[in-house]
Chain A
C-alpha cells in the first residue's frame, strides 16, 4: 500500500507520519510506503500508485481543491482524507467528494478510526478475482462487480461494464465475494453494497434502479443492518 502526505506544514507532516507508523505497528500490519510532499504540484508529479492521500486544503500555489481535481482525474480509486486547520466551514471544500475531513490538531483516536475505515475501503477496491467465461479468462476487480445472479444453472455477473455469464458456479462467487462489500440477499443474488441506490422489503435497486435484486423476507433485517454499517465506514 502506498500512502502520500501533502501539507505545507512540515511539523504536521512529521506528526502524521508518526501517527501512521504507530497505527500500523499497533495493528501488526506491514508498514506502507510513505511519501511526503509540501506542495500540490510536487504531489501531482509523483508517478507511483496513490492508494491513500492526506491532503491539506490551504497550501500556497496550487491549493487542495485544485490538487484534488487533478488527483481524481489521474487515479480513479484514490482514497483522499482532507486535513484542514481552517476553523470556518469551507463551502468549496465540502462540495468535493472526499473520503473524510480531519481538523487540525489531529485527535489520535479519531485519526486511527478514519485510517481503519480507509484500509477497509482500500482492500475492497484492490481485490481481484479470476473471471472465466467461454470467450476468455480475465482478472476482474471486485469493485466493478455490481451483483451476481443465479437462474437455475445460469449465473449472470453484472459489472459496471456490462454483464457476462461466468463458467464458475454461484457457490464459487458466494465463497469469494464476502464482507464487507458483498452480501447474499436472496438464494439467487449476491450484491455489492457500493451500488445500492435504495431498497424496500422485497427488492434492492442497484445502479440507479437499472439492476434489481431480490431481498428475501428473512434476510431483510440482516441486510438493513449490514448495509448501514457498511455506509458508516465509507
Chain B
C-alpha cells in the first residue's frame, strides 16, 4: 500500500524491512518444496539481491508494478535455486503472490478503523502502520505454512515435467492475482463503503480459500503422478527381470542342445578336415561360435544388474560392438532398480551411441572396490570417434536428434551419483580414441 509524502530514508528502511521478511519467508518456502541446487550462501545472496531490486522499484508506489516485480523475483529465485521445472516454478510464485496480497488485505480489513485513518493521515513512523506491517507478515508466514502443511512435506521431484492438469492449475493463482489487485485499486481510488465493501472483502477471503484449495489439488496431482511413475518403474523392473530369466532359460537349453550335438559337430569338422577345406572348417567353427554359443547374461552376482546389462549385451552383439564386463563380487547391492537404471543404463546408452559409429568399437565396464577403500568404483571406457568436449566451454556436446533430450542422461547419472555421496569425472583419450567415465560411490554394499 502506498502512503503519502514522507522522508525518503524512513520509507526506504520501512520497505527494506518488509522485503527482508518476505525474503526469509521465500527461503523457508523453497527449502520445503524442492531440493536445493546451490549452497545456502548462494541461495541467500540470490534471494536478497532479487528482493533488494524489487524493493527499490517498490518506492515508485505502483501496486501493479510492485506485484509484477515480486512475482518475477519469486519465479527467478525458485527456478534458479531449486530443481523444479519452469511451469511448476510459475505455480509456486503465483501462489506466494496471492498469499502475500491476501495477508496485507486481511490485516487492513481487520483494522478498518486504521484503514480509514490510513487514507487521510499516512505515516511510516506511525505505530499503527508498523503494527500493520508486522501483522501482515505474520499472517503471510502463517498462510505459507498452511500451504506447506497442505502439501504435507511432499517435495517436488527434480527436473520432472509437470502434467497438463498441473499446468492448467497455474492459471487460477494468476487470475486471482489480477482480481485482487483490481480490488485493491478500487479500494484505494473509489470510496466504497457499507455492503459493497463487505462483499469485496468477502470475495477476497473466498479467493484465498480457492487458492489454498488449488494448492491442495496441485499436491494431489503431483502425488498421483509420482505414484504412477513409481508403478511404471516397478513394471519396468519386473519386465527386465522376466526378460533376464527367460534368457537364462534359453541359454540353458541352447547349451544342452550343444552338448547333445557336440559329437555331430566334431564329426562334421573331421570330415571337412579330411577334405582339407580350411575355409569351410573356419566357416563352420565360426557358425558354431556365433549361433550355438549364446553370450552369457549372468555377468555378476547381482541379478538386478544382470537384468539391465542383459539388454546391452544383446544390443552390442547386434551392433558388432565388443563389450567386456568385469564386475566383482558383492557390489552395488545397495542400489534399487531405479537408481541402477539411472546410473548403468544411461552410462551404457551413451557408450553404445558413441561406439556404434566406430569400426571395431568396444565398451569396457569395470565395477570393483579399490583396496583400502569402502567405496565402489565404476569405470566405463568406450570407443569414441572424436573428442565430445566443447573446446570453449569444456562441456559435453550432445548429438541427440531431439534437442529436448540433450543432457538428460548425464544429469540423471550426476543426480544418482550425488544421492550416494559419490563423485565422477570424464575425459577423452585422443590417442586411443576412447572416452573414459569414472565414478566413485560411497559405501554401497
Q: Report whether chain A binds chain B.
A: yes
Q: Residues of A at under 8 Å CB distance from B?
A: 87-89, 91, 94-95, 97, 100-101, 103, 107, 109-110, 113, 194-198, 206-208, 224-225, 228-229, 231-232, 234
Given contacts A87-B296, A197-B374, A198-B375, contact A94 B327 (CB under 8 A): yes
Nearest residue, chain B, Cβ from A230: B370
Residues of chain B within 8 A (CB-CB) of A231 are 370, 377, 379, 438, 440
Residues of chain A within 8 A (CB-CB) of B371 are 97, 194, 234
User: Is B34 in the interface zone, CB < 8 Å from A?
Assistant: no
Give Cα distance in the complex from A194 to B373, angstroms: 9
Given contacts A224-B425, A229-B425, A232-B379, contact A107 B372 (CB under 8 A): no
Given contacts A103-B324, A229-B425, contact A91 B301 (CB under 8 A): yes
20 of the cross-chain contacts (CB-CB < 8 Å) are A87-B295, A88-B296, A88-B298, A89-B298, A89-B299, A94-B327, A94-B329, A95-B330, A103-B324, A109-B432, A110-B364, A196-B373, A198-B442, A208-B372, A224-B425, A225-B427, A228-B425, A228-B438, A231-B379, A231-B438
Residues of chain B within 8 A (CB-CB) of A196 are 372-373
Residues of chain A within 8 A (CB-CB) of B330 are 95
B343 to chain A, nearest CB (A): 16
A203 to chain B, nearest CB (A): 15
Chain A interface main SS type:
helix
B292 to chain A, nearest CB (A): 12
Max count, chain B CB within 10 A of own CB: residue among A194, A225, A232: A232
Q: B372 to A207, Cβ gap below 8 A?
A: yes
Chain B, 299-330, CB within 8 A of any chain A CB: 299-301, 322, 324, 326-330
Give Cα distance in the complex from A103 to B313, angstroms: 15
B436 to chain A, nearest CB (A): 7
Give Cα distance in the complex from A231 to B327, angstroms: 15
A197 to chain B, nearest CB (A): 6
Nearest residue, chain B, Cβ from A195: B372
Nearest residue, chain B, Cβ from A224: B423
Max count, chain A CB within 10 A of own CB: residue among B327, B328, B362: B328
Residues of chain B within 8 A (CB-CB) of A113 are 364, 381, 432
Give Cα distance in the complex from A149 to B436, angstroms: 33
User: Is B293 in the interface zone, CB < 8 Å from A?
Assistant: yes
Kindly list 8 other residue pairs between chains A and B, CB separation below 8 angstroms, not including A89-B298, A231-B370, A231-B379. A87-B293, A94-B301, A109-B362, A113-B432, A229-B427, A229-B438, A232-B379, A234-B371
Give Cα distance in the complex from A205 to B293, angstroms: 47
B152 to chain A, nearest CB (A): 34
Residues of chain B within 8 A (CB-CB) of A88 are 296, 298
Q: Which of B300, B375, B381 contacts A89 (CB 8 A)?
A: B300
A185 to chain B, nearest CB (A): 15
User: Is B424 in the interface zone, CB < 8 Å from A?
Assistant: yes
Nearest residue, chain A, Cβ from B301: A91
What is the 8 Å Cβ interface bit string for chain B, positions 143-187, against chain A (1 contact, 0 not)? 000000000000000000000000000000000000000000000
The count of residues in chain B whose C-beta lies closer than 8 Å to any C-beta of chain A is: 34
B358 to chain A, nearest CB (A): 12
Residues of chain A within 8 A (CB-CB) of B328 are 94-95
Residues of chain B within 8 A (CB-CB) of A194 are 371-372
Residues of chain B within 8 A (CB-CB) of A208 are 372
Nearest residue, chain A, Cβ from B300: A89
Give Cα distance in the complex from A206 to B381, angstroms: 28
Chain B, 38-68, CB within 8 A of any chain A CB: none
Residues of chain B within 8 A (CB-CB) of A232 are 377, 379, 436, 438
Nearest 9 CB-CB pairs, A to B?
A228-B438, A87-B296, A94-B329, A95-B329, A228-B425, A89-B298, A232-B379, A225-B425, A232-B438
Chain B, 391-440, CB within 8 A of any chain A CB: 423-425, 427, 432, 436, 438, 440
Q: A197 to B372, Cβ gap below 8 A?
A: yes
Max count, chain A CB within 10 A of own CB: residue among B301, B372, B373, B440: B372
B363 to chain A, nearest CB (A): 10
Nearest residue, chain A, Cβ from B255: A87
Max count, chain B CB within 10 A of own CB: residue among A89, A95, A206, A225: A89
Give Cα distance in the complex from A207 to B324, angstroms: 32
Nearest residue, chain B, Cβ from A92: B329
Give Cα distance in the complex from A196 to B327, angstroms: 22
Q: A107 to B324, Cβ gap below 8 A?
A: yes
Nearest residue, chain B, Cβ from A108: B360
Give Cα distance in the complex from A232 to B378, angstroms: 9
B289 to chain A, nearest CB (A): 9
Give Cα distance in the complex from A58 to B442, angstroms: 34
Give Cα distance in the complex from A225 to B424, angstroms: 8
Give Cα distance in the complex from A87 to B295, angstroms: 7
Residues of chain A within 8 A (CB-CB) of B298 are 88-89
Nearest residue, chain B, Cβ from A101: B326
Residues of chain B within 8 A (CB-CB) of A228 are 423-425, 438, 440
Q: A89 to B436, Cβ gap below 8 A?
A: no
Nearest residue, chain B, Cβ from A116: B432
Nearest residue, chain B, Cβ from A105: B289
Nearest residue, chain A, Cβ from B360: A109
Given contacts A194-B372, A228-B425, A229-B438, contact A89 B326 (CB under 8 A): no
